[in-house]
Amino acid sequence: MNNDIRIVTSRRGFLGTMFSAGAFIVGARLPLEGAAPAAKAASSAAWHPNVYLGIDPDGTVILVTHRSEMGTGVRSVLPVVLADELEADWGRVRLEQAVGDTKYGSQNTDGSCSIRDFYDSLREAGATARTMLERAAASKWGVPASECKAKNHEVVHSSGKKLGYGELATLAKQQAKPAASELKYKTAAEFRYIGKEMPTMDRDDLVSGKGTFGYDAKVPGMVYASIERSPVYAGKLKKFDDAAAKHVKGVSNVVVVDAFKGPHVFQPLGGVAVVADNTWSAMQGRRALKVEWESSPHAVFESAAYKRDLMAAAQKPQKVVRKLGDVNAEFARAGVKTHEASYYVPMLSHVPMEPPAAVAHWQNGKVTAWAATQNPQAVQEAMAASMGIKKEDATCHVTLLGGGFGRKSKPDYVVEAAMISKAVGKPVKVAWSREEDIKFDFYHAVAAMHCKAALGANGRPTAWLARSVFPSIGTTFGDASGYGQEFELGMGLVDIPYNIPNIQAENGAAPNHVRIGWMRAVANIYHAFGTHSFTDELAAAANRDRVEYILDLIGPARKIDFAAEGTKFWNNGQSLDKFPYDTARLRRVAELVADKSGWAKKKSGAGRGVGIAVHRSFLTYVAAVAEVEVDAAGKLRIVRVDIAADPGMIINPDRVRSQFEGAAVFGASLAMMSEITAEGGVVKQSNFHNYNVARMSDVPFETHVHIVPSTEPAAGVGEPGVPPIAPAICNAVFAATGKRVRELPLKHHKLA
């Protein structure tokens, strides 16, 4: 396979040949401002049954990738599905990044759903085009189509004669689109790329520094803006003095960015922007501003007091969101032994390696943006709403993303650039600093959990109560109830999979004082920590092997019918018919990780221990075993992490392994050190010196990923590796030291 492939990631070079005469085109993207005018768009082409594919007369296959690349490899993996079904030569494939447009379906690279949502449609696109190429060749040769078969970028007749895809492009446009019933899909044995390890298309550009990220985006005449925002959420601008700022060399304008109204959704926080001819001058000008803010009702936010309130609320009865049997009757039964514990996970920041960045240009009543975004359609909608224009008049080009983790699906920073551009009449770049990124994030919610169990024979629960209290993401969209949304409750709270006759889940309302958003793994982070820490406590109290105890709780292989017990279960928006909660798969990953980690042979105690956690999220089944050492001074070292995962069928095993390896690092950061706190409504952390993330010396010394071979429908891989890591590490700490950690991060605990 030829890996020396030309990759087009820049908006500068829109290839005119892509739409040359006779081309068979079904996809397009717009050029960076200042480049040559775009040729005919896919929607205007003579034949375009699908938006993801184009074939040039020279045989180049152009695959339009509509999701955002932020390190997962999705920009390459999605096109592999189409290319395989098309029977294209991967060495003759070129990628084009799609602009934001609803014609592509959802472009929100979030929720670990890219392959799950588009596997079938991309295969259909490939099979449709392949069938039409075969029929085009049959027409040219005057033979039955049944005698023609596509193979490696050519259509081959049974006699041996061949025609290349480029030669057939014009004729293919003239063929009738086959009905779905006429399409013949490849079998798994015929796949050339699906299930194989292939390098990402951006690899060479990334390692050579040629990749274009949000921070790299430039357009002619661009200026730079730095924004002073209220240090307290929802603080309104009272007055400001910009005299000193305007004397900073390079500063050209000072612009007021209006504060959000109503639910903030993805609106900018508002503030005062200093515009200059370079980033440094803009930042220095902003520092020279004298700004006064009106008092905000959120100035009462004190994270220490807020934590106490959440923990107290978790101790009291709350709204019941799942009820199986009668836990209260079981707890009240004479002579029953119970065990209970409370858990806490702090507020967290996304801190992607590249902070938010975008360029926007308002011109002639329209706005165009170039942004490091996970969701270009959300950019369109947010810009259009803020500028008072039609969505069709807002265009978003997608750069590479230096990480995202959910932060960059919220396009407030793009809207900032658009609003300032309209004010100054020039293209404007807004690139957040690390301090802005941490102090003004859409934070991952702080949460308290309380668990209680009635214990029967052999320490096995006869009743299980799980109660969770956290500020909901729903507040972002105007839900003032304070309760969790159905999707948050379906992430490890209502879907406890244990075979226990009495289960009850409750959710308490919590006020909110910051912007709350989704982060990698979302509510699974705190629910998994509480659930699997408590499971380990029960196993320890029963003096039973942890793996054997977990398998006992999961019970026999079965598909859990939540609806039959009257429970609303989100299931990632998918039906339980297609994606059932299958405990056989959950058991299998637990057994696999125990085997591969050498669980049975490892002894715990005297400063060394192993811990396990098993969790289903994003329709994927994951088990993690962590092995740790704690020295005499209390220093923690993660010796090894083993992860067993069953995400269904896999497109690229290398990309899947890398996601779970990354999850081990991400989860270690959350377990050991990451935490956002506030005083007087002001976030105290500002950079990596006080918002800690795992460094080389902190990450697992070894990480081993074990994938279960599967023909089940593809599920998620970007997020589900995270939830079991923190509880596995904390359970291992208990095994090593006898010290139970119920509140994160670990850095606050004395382990020696």
The per-residue pLDDT for range 186-240, each reduced to its tens digit, is: 999 999 999 999 988 888 888 899 999 999 999 999 999 999 999 999 999 999 9
**Which pair of structure tokens corresponds to residue 717?**
């891989």
Q: Residue 363's beta-bridge partner residues?
A: 366
Q: Give yes or no for a contact between 130 and 86, defined as CB atoms under 8 angstroms apart.
A: yes
* Confidence (pLDDT) at 1: 34
DSSP letter (8 states) at residue 677: -
Last residue of a domain, one of 158, 187, 207: 207
* Confidence (pLDDT) at 203: 87
Q: Give yes or no for a contact between 100 and 165, defined as CB atoms under 8 angstroms apart.
A: no
DSSP codes of every residue in 179-224: PGGG--PPPGGG-SSTTS----TTHHHHHTT---BGGG---TT-EE
Whether residue 368 sits in one domain with residue 315: no
Total count of domains within the chain: 3
Task: Summarize the confidence of residues 8-35 as an average pLDDT.
Answer: 35
Neighbours of 316 (CB within 10 A): 11
Torsion of CA 468, 474, 476, 482, to 10 degrees: -60
Inside any domain, residue 37? yes
Inside any domain, residue 459? yes
Inside any domain, residue 2? no
Q: Is the pLDDT of residue 247 over 70?
A: yes
Whether residue 265 sits in one domain with residue 320: no
220-223 long-range contacts (CB < 8 A, ≥24 apart) are: 220/33, 220/34, 220/427, 221/426, 221/427, 222/359, 222/426, 222/427, 222/428, 222/429, 223/252, 223/253, 223/275, 223/276, 223/277, 223/424, 223/426, 223/427, 223/428, 223/429
Element (H, E) at 657: helix 653-672
Report the length, in residues, of the chain: 752
Q: What is the pLDDT of residues 512-526, one digit of tens each?
A: 999 999 999 999 999
79: confidence class by pLDDT, cuts 50, 70, 90:
very high
Whether residue 245 sits in one domain with residue 200: no
Inside any domain, residue 237? yes
Q: Is the pLDDT of residue 402 over 80?
A: yes
* Confidence (pLDDT) at 262: 87
Question: Could you tell me the CATH number of the domain that includes residue 40?
Answer: 3.30.365.10
* Confidence (pLDDT) at 218: 95
* Confidence (pLDDT) at 155: 96
Contacts of 137 (CB under 8 A, 6+ apart): 148, 155, 157, 163, 168, 171
Inside any domain, residue 629? yes
Q: What angle do helix axes 546-554 and 583-597 make, rounded to 10 degrees?
A: 170
* Confidence (pLDDT) at 96: 87
Give the three-state DSSP class for 458.
helix
* Confidence (pLDDT) at 281: 98
Q: Is the pLDDT of residue 46 over 50?
A: no
Contacts of 419 (CB under 8 A, 6+ apart): 255, 257, 258, 268, 386, 387
Whether residue 178 sits in one domain with residue 136: yes
Encode burial over 271-292: b for 16+ CB neighbours within 10 A, e otherwise.
Answer: bbbbbbeebebbbbbbebbebe
Whether residue 606 sits in one domain with residue 675: yes
Last residue of a domain, one of 431, 456, 483: 431
The pTM assigned to this predicted structure is: 0.93
**Which pair of structure tokens corresponds to residue 654?**
């290398």
Cα-based distances in Å from 395 to 18, 307, 382, 413 = 21, 42, 11, 15
Q: Is the pLDDT of residue 318 over 80?
A: yes
Whether residue 290 sits in one domain with residue 312: no
Q: Give yes or no for a contact between 415 and 266, defined as CB atoms under 8 angstroms apart.
A: yes
The CA-to-CA distance between both ends of the chain, in Å, stands at 54
* Confidence (pLDDT) at 41: 35
Inside any domain, residue 404? yes
Inside any domain, residue 533? yes
Q: Is the pLDDT of residue 18 over 90?
A: no
Whether residue 182 sits in one domain with residue 139: yes
Which of 173-182, 501-510, 737-746 is the least confident region? Answer: 173-182
* Confidence (pLDDT) at 490: 98
Place of tokens 């294209």: 88
Inside any domain, residue 597? yes
The percentage of the chain sitting over the pLDDT mark of 90, rounded to a whole number, equals 89
Domain span at residue 103? 16-207
Contacts of 308 (CB under 8 A, 6+ apart): none
Last residue of a domain, one of 386, 405, 431: 431
Whether residue 543 sits in one domain with residue 652: yes
Query: What's the mean per-residue pLDDT of the chain?
Result: 92
Whether residue 471 sits in one domain with residue 386: no
* Confidence (pLDDT) at 49: 52
Whether residue 527 sits in one domain with residue 458: yes
Report d(CA 740, CA 309) in Å as an integer.
22
Whether residue 370 sits in one domain with residue 340: no
Q: Is the pLDDT of residue 36 over 50?
A: no
35: confidence class by pLDDT, cuts 50, 70, 90:
very low
Q: What is the pLDDT of residues 533-590, one digit of tens each?
A: 999 999 999 999 999 999 999 999 999 999 998 999 999 999 999 999 999 999 999 9
Q: What angle do helix axes 524-541 and 725-737 make, rounded to 10 degrees?
A: 30
Strand spans (E) along 509-607: 559-560, 581-582
Whether residue 150 sits in one domain with residue 41: yes
* Confidence (pLDDT) at 244: 98
Backbone angles phi, psi at 344, to 5 degrees: -145, 135
